[in-house]
Every structure is written in C-alpha cells, then in structure tokens.
Amino acid sequence: MADSLAFESIGNLASQIRQGALSPVALTESLLGRIDALDKRLHAFIAVTRDRAMGQARAAESALRAGHDLGPLHGIPYAAKDLYDVRGLATTAGTHLLAGNVADADCAAVRKLSAAGMVLLGKTHTVQFAFGGVGINHDHGTPHNPWHRDAHAPGGSSSGSAVAVAAGLAPMALGSDTGGSVRIPAALCGIVGLKTTVGRISRAGVYPLSFTLDSVGPLTRSVEDAALVYEALQGPDSEDETTMGIARGDVLTDLKRGVKGLRIAFGETVFFDDVDAEVEKAVRRTGDVFRSLGAHVDSVAVPEVAEAMSEQKRLLMVAAEALAVNGRLLDEHHDALDPVVSSRMAMGRTLTATDYVAVSRQWSALRRRVVRTLADVDALLVPVTMIPPRPIAAIDETPESYVEHNGKYLRNTSLGNVLDLCAVSVPCGVSAAGLPIGLMIYAKPFDEAMALRVAWAYEQATDWHTRHPDLAWAQ
C-alpha cells in the first residue's frame, strides 16, 4: 500500500470507495499486508482477525454494489483495544493470565461499528489492566512509538491503538479513557483522540478499570473522523446504565461552523505548572491560531481543578475500583503480574469505604461547580501531557522513574476525568527530537460537539495532522 493511502482519513477513503476508485476488499488487503510488513517492529497488534476482516470487507463491497450504503464508515477498516470483547477472541486486558478469557459475543461498540459496515482488522495491545499512562507492558510487550527508531513512550493505556493509527496500519482504532488513556497516546503519537463523557457510549463488553470513570473513545487521523465514529457509537444501552436517559448529541451539524465569536481560554489552574518548556510553547502558540480565526482567547482560573488535584485519595479511587474486578488475580497470581501495575493497584486496599464515599461526593460537588465556573467559556486549552515522549529505557530504569513519568503523562488528563469533562487531543507541534506534542481542548460535560468543533477549526488552520512518521527503520 502506498504511504499516501495508508495515511488517508476515513472521509477520504470513504469518498474513494464511493467513487469506485477503491474497494473495501482492496483496502483491507492492503492494510493487512502493511500490518504483516511493519508490526513485527511496531508491536501494535496482539491479534489480527484476518478471516473476519476479509469476510466483512467482501460483505461491505457486495452491499455497496447492490446499492445498500450504510453511511460514511461503510467498508472502512479499524482496530479495537484488547479490552473490547470480540467474539471468539480472548480479551486479555494486557496479561497472559486472561488468555482463556474468550468472548462469546462482540461488545456493544464493536456491534455498532459492524452495523455501520466497518471492518475489524484485529485487537491492539494495552497496558496491563489499562492501568498506566506511559504505555509500557512488561508482559505482552510495549508498542513502539512510530516517530522514533529508538523505543519511546507510546502513551497508555491505549498504546497499540495509537501506534496502529499513527503508523498507518488502521485509519481508526478504539481506545478507552479512565485517566487519559485515549488522549495521552494520541498526543504522544501525533494523532487525534476523543475522550467522551461517561454515559455517551456504552461500555458493555469492555473490560473495566473504573466503573466511575471509564469511557469509550476513538483514535483517528482527523477530527472529522473522530466525529463520524462518535456518531456511530453513541446512544443508550440497557447493558450500561450510565447511558440510559442520555439524549444523543449531534456533533456533525456544527462541526465546521468555525470558532468566530467563541470564548476560548487557557486553563491556568494547575495545567501549566511545571510543564516542559517545549510543550508549553507549542500549546501557547495555539492561541494565536484561534485569534486569527475570530475567537476571543484569554485565560481563566478553574479552582475546581486545584481542589481535585489536592485530594490525594483520588489517586486511590481507580485502584480500589480496579481491585473490585482484578482482586482475585492480584491475590492468587501476584508474582505473575506486571510489578508496576500490581503495586499501584494494591494501593487501593488502603482506601476505606468511608473515604470512597467521601471522595465520590466531593467529585459530584466539583462537577456541579465546574459547570458554573465554565458557564461563559466554550472551551479550555491545556497541554495534554507535561512532557513529550521520553525514551522507554529512561522511564523504565527504576520504579521511581516510572512513577515520576507516569504522573507527568497522566496529570492534566486525569483531572478532566475527575471533573467529567469531555475533550479532544490534537497535534500542535513537535519537540526538538521530532516527537509529537498534543493540545487538549476541554469542553463541558456532554458538549462533545463544542470540543470537536474547536478542534476541527484548529486542525484546518494548521498542518500538524498531515504529518506522519518515516517508518523506513521498521521495514
């Protein structure tokens, strides 16, 4: 497959399919060939569903020839993080201990994408139990950030999904976001990541980390692609009670409306503290772009962010909820688990029931207040991560180094999960080492339409999203 086609957006691929210049079968065959050629070095996929992919591609092609067009995703291949149940495949959540956890049925998200005519290429690697922002997996192996010959952090926990999209192995991959697991790898791999509000998209059949915070979101090469996938995925599902009673949100009608007259503000509370100078410079420069597009750009203090940051027991909340799912594995197979993950998860045992309730109530109060604080703000601009991708060897040198780097990747994103904000990560620059830097656009809960609209306007005014890594080293 030519690089130009490998890095095309969903929108452009769909246009070529409908013009008869490209068939779903040929596209799928080409991507499977690209996976065969490159993934030995990239390590994005844990399983390639070749037979299923070709069957779905042939079905998509036949339907289109018969005049049955299921929409813009029809015939488009994608990948799914190894938290998503796919019938007949193990959902391992990044550990060999779950190799026998074979799914009887597709999860809700995969079913919806199948109904939209999409073609599943396979499942992608993740951090063990999706519990980490760096992207390292000491069990199944760590996906290789495609932007550098030497191993650098791909971001986690949707590491394989981000690498697959950034390297042109798939135009879209599903991720999940509990503390930044869509946005961090999107930023570190130079692509787009959408963190949805809990309740927008069903998590039924997705291996859980934290019922309170888990959300489903796509990683894509363009903002419009993220919007198209979001439209197909959202909606109520009785198998996930958080989605019930949530009206569908239209994100396509105003996507290309622009930002003229909008108030867009840099979030000055905590988000820029101790941020790497290269990252801050790249993010601050985005204000000039938005001003040139007619937006009102200023700064705003968000005290709820500082309050969320100061509550140290928040760090134990995810660990405690993860223990509810994985406690037996931790007890019976502690030595077989990734020591970095198991030690972090074990900390959840120190959270008392009283503390759990108190922190949950604090979060609820902060979420109500932050909506009032941001009443006159359409979107916040902040760095996705405090630092750009760093070498895996340096991060993994000691447990202390891992913890330090993990915190720098997770801080700005995890605060948004606590406050229940939705967000889009878009590329906004590169470091001196040529590695991507990400801009995070926060919007109020359930206002994915605004986050995507602002992101689309920025994307169209810059060329960061058109860049892709030189993969000659991976051949």
Q: Which of 9, 23, 157, 414 is catalytic?
A: 157
195 as an active site residue: the answer is no
Provide the token pair at 436: 């991507």
Helix (H, G, I), strand (E, B) or coil at 456: helix
Q: Which of 254, 303, 315, 305 is nearest to 420 (CA)?
A: 305
Tell me how crowded residue 257 is: count the other CB atoms within 10 A of its CB. Answer: 12
- How many other CB atoms are found less than 10 A from the CB of residue 312? 8
SS3 assignment, position 135: coil
The residue behind tokens 């203090």 is: 301
Q: Of 9, 23, 81, 425, which one is the catalytic site residue?
A: 81
Q: Under DSSP, is residue 215 helix (H, G, I), strand (E, B) or coil?
A: strand
Give the number of other Cβ atoms within 10 Å of residue 11's Cβ. Answer: 17
CA distance 335 to 327: 13
If you write DSSP's letter for every residue of 223-258 in order, what string do you get?
A: HHHHHHHHHHHBS-BTTBGGGTTPPP---STTTTS-
Which phi and psi angles does 377 have, rounded to 5°? -115, 125
**Cα 294 versus chain centre, distance:** 29
Cα–Cα distance measured from residue 405 to residue 397, given in angstroms and rounded to the nearest whole number? 11
Residue with tokens 């990948």: 79
Q: Which residue in 158, 159, 181, 425 is the catalytic one?
A: 181
Q: Give the CA angle between residues 332, 335, 131 to the nearest 5°.
A: 90
Dihedral (Cα; 21, 23, 27, 28), 10-degree rounding:
180
Is 81 one of the catalytic residues?
A: yes
Place of tokens 């760590």: 142
Backbone angles phi, psi at 213, to 5 degrees: -115, -20
User: What SS3 state is found at 413?
Assistant: helix
Active site residue 181: yes
Contact at 8 Å (CB) between 80 and 123? yes
Helix (H, G, I), strand (E, B) or coil at 439: strand
* Catalytic residue positions, numbered: 81, 157, 181
